[in-house]
Amino acid sequence: MNILPFPLITDLTVSLRFVFGVVAAAVATVVMNYVMAELPEGDTPPRIAAGVLTMVRPENAPRRLATVIHYVAALLTGPLFVWLIFSVEALLNDTALSVAVSAIILYTLMIGFFIIIVLPQSRVSATRVNTIRRDWALAAGGYLGVLVPLIGGVSLVL
């Protein structure tokens, strides 16, 4: 039995948080794009992903595919973050702490997946690898710097 004055909102809380996850991810992606534009290898990670999928060097990877990969991954990361918060919150029973722990987990997943799985399969010069790693870490940090407060704030309210 729902005793809160706004039963519709409480009944839709989970769905609303996932929808907001996509919206927040879109905003975070815009910021990430600005960060990437300022970095020497900023636009390289999406090109690396496209290159790995098409088995070509990043410089020869289709730009459209790189853009699609970038935006799909970025937009899906918002709902992934919401799911992480729900999962961690089930264990810790503390929303604020769950947001912080989930942010650390997500940053680790973002960096680890790219550096351990994707980057080694690319055909980039070994001299560029450290710069690409650093720039990806900075771009991912910029993305999470927007995503975490937006979704975390909504998670604390809903």
Number of domains in the chain: 1
Asked whether residue 124 is assigned to any structural domain, the reply reads yes
Residue 72 neighbours by CB distance under 10 Å: 10
What pTM does this model have? 0.91
Q: Could you give the percent of the chain with pLDDT greater than 90?
A: 89
Q: Is the pLDDT of residue 1 over 50?
A: no
Residue 20, domain member (yes or no): yes
Is 28 inside a domain boundary? Answer: yes
Confirm whether 2 is domain-assigned: no
- Report if residue 47 sits inside a domain: yes
pLDDT of residue 9: 54
Task: Give the domain range for residue 82.
Answer: 14-157
Instruction: Please report whether residue 72 resides in a domain.
Output: yes
Q: Is residue 3 situated within a structural domain? A: no
Residue 107, classified by CB atoms within 10 Å of its CB into exposed (0-12), middle (13-18) or buried (19+), is middle
pLDDT digits (tens, 9 = 90+) for 42-62: 999 999 999 999 999 999 999
Residue 53 lies in a domain: yes
pLDDT at residue 11 above 90? no
Distances, alpha carbon 89 to alpha carbons 13, 18, 19, 25, 72, in Å = 15, 15, 19, 20, 26
pLDDT of residue 5: 54
